[in-house]
Amino acid sequence: MITKILDRYLLKYFLLALFTVSVAIGLLIIVINMVEELRDFIDNDVPLAQIFEYYLYFAGWVVKSFLPVFILLAALISIGILARRNELLAMKTSGISLYRIAAPLMAFTLLLSFAHIYYNEVIFAKANQRRVEIKEYTINKRARTDKRTVNIFRQVNPNLFYTIRSYNTASREGVDFKLFRSEKNKLLELVVAERITFTSRNWMLYDGVSRYFTDTGETFSEFDSLPATYIHERPSDFEVPLGKPEDMAYFDLQHYINMMKRAGGPYRRELVDLKLKLSYPFSSFIVILICVPIASNSKRGGIALSFALGAGIALLYFICFKITQSFGYNEKLHPDLAAWMVNGVFFLVGLTIMIRSKK
């Protein structure tokens, strides 16, 4: 009974600190962004309703991107306050170890990590599309007729797929078209065209080459125009861009990577980002291992010191994250290592600090 009361007490302080930190820093980030965008708001006469809607979705981006930082600061502040009030000392004196004190926070942040993944992939991905639309077409006044979709990959059937490097929805014309037809993992036909255009009846290819591969050799033929009747998509099907990897849902990005693999296109950066979609949210759990023992021994400096310490840990963490991410992009690290190595290192550091701290 006593331990349940203790858990609720610790979680109450932590959640209060988490809410305060999230609102305070979140509003600060939004205000900074408002200052940066203010000139565009005025020059392009953006309605107040659109500005409000944009920052409603922008707040969702802040949660997605900075939740581990908010948790880190909240843990330092809440545990630090309890330590300075000697409440942690009283708990330890009554026989409650630091492990037991940290347990409810660790369990809660582990659940929060899974919730963070769900939020990123189910809620944020769709809402963020609207944020990007407002940014491009209302704030930046980009003409919708100039909308382009890049790196289109579509599969007609298991043995036939095609790519379009860039497609203009206004002119209904794409450039750098490639068709791949295979059978039993062997390439049978490759069609390359400079342009693809939608006519009144179907899609047409222009200025290209068809290559056919057999066991005995290869043949090819050039063409000025060639109908592409196997493409069943309408021009409107290409109007929604795939978006940046970090803005895509997990399974959408995974589908994109699979298409790139079949097409032989580059997908290394996307694969690293796919792994990061799972590893990054768990940093919320890992920072608790580091923050609880550090904050429990805090004697002086107050909230300012907690913020400074939290900022330092967060800065180091994200610098390391960006470094391994870049190594993954450049194929100097395996994608799994690029995504999980920093978490692994900080987990071991946090575990060591927890074990060696005063119980």
Rounded distance between C-alpha atoms, residue 72 and residue 59, angstroms: 19
Q: Are residues 335 and 229 in the same domain?
A: no
Q: Once rounded to an integer, what is the mean pLDDT over residues 257-268?
A: 68
The pLDDT of residue 143: 63
121: pLDDT strictly greater than 90: no
Q: Which of 162-171, 247-256, 257-266, 288-297 has the highest mean pLDDT?
A: 162-171
Q: Are residues 20 and 134 in the same domain?
A: yes
The pLDDT of residue 73: 86
Q: Once rounded to an integer, what is the mean pLDDT over residues 186-212?
A: 90
Tell whether 25 is covered by a domain: yes
Are β-strands 148-157 and 186-198 bridged in parallel, bridged antiparallel, or unpaired? unpaired
Full 3-state SS string of the chain: CHHHHHHHHHHHHHHHHHHHHHHHHHHHHHHHHHHHHHHHHHHCCCCHHHHHHHHHHHHHHHHHHHHHHHHHHHHHHHHHHHHHCCHHHHHHHCCCCHHHHHHHHHHHHHHHHHHHHHHHHHHHHHHHHHHHHHHHHHHCCCCHHHCEEEEEEEEEECCEEEEEEEEECCCCEEEEEEEEEEECCEEEEEEEEEEEEECCCCEEEEEEEEEEEECCEEEEEEEEEEECCCCCCCHHHHCCCCCCHHHCCHHHHHHHHHHHHHHCCCCHHHHHHHHHHHHHHHHHHHHHHHHHHHHHCCCCCHHHHHHHHHHHHHHHHHHHHHHHHHHHHCCCCCHHHHHHHHHHHHHHHHHHHHHHCCC
**Out of 9-13, 82-86, 257-261, least confident range:** 257-261
Q: Once rounded to an integer, what is the mean pLDDT over residues 254-279?
A: 78
Q: Are residues 310 and 334 in the same domain?
A: yes
pTM of the model: 0.73
The pLDDT of residue 310: 67
146: pLDDT strictly greater than 70: no
The pLDDT of residue 241: 46
Q: Are residues 124 and 159 in the same domain?
A: no
Q: Are residues 11 and 84 in the same domain?
A: yes
Q: Once rounded to an integer, what is the mean pLDDT over residues 25-54?
A: 90
Tell whether 201 is covered by a domain: yes
The pLDDT of residue 72: 87
Full 3-state SS string of 166-234: EEECCCCEEEEEEEEEEECCEEEEEEEEEEEEECCCCEEEEEEEEEEEECCEEEEEEEEEEECCCCCCC
pLDDT band at residue 27 under the 50/70/90 scheme? very high
Q: Are residues 324 and 290 in the same domain?
A: yes
Rounded distance between C-alpha atoms, residue 88 and residue 97, angstroms: 10
Q: Which domain holds residue 197?
A: 148-240
Higher pLDDT, 67 or 250: 67
Tell whether 64 is covered by a domain: yes
For residue 31, which amino acid is it?
V
Q: Which of 145-159, 212-226, 263-277, 332-346 has the highest mean pLDDT?
A: 332-346
Residues of the chain above pLDDT 90, percent:
30
Average pLDDT over all residues of the chain: 84
Higher pLDDT, 262 or 83: 83
Tokens of 88: 């942690």
Strand partners of residue 163: 153, 178
**Out of 147-151, 176-180, 216-220, 350-354, least confident range:** 147-151
Q: Are residues 156 and 125 in the same domain?
A: no
Number of structural domains found in the chain: 2
Tell whether 256 is covered by a domain: no
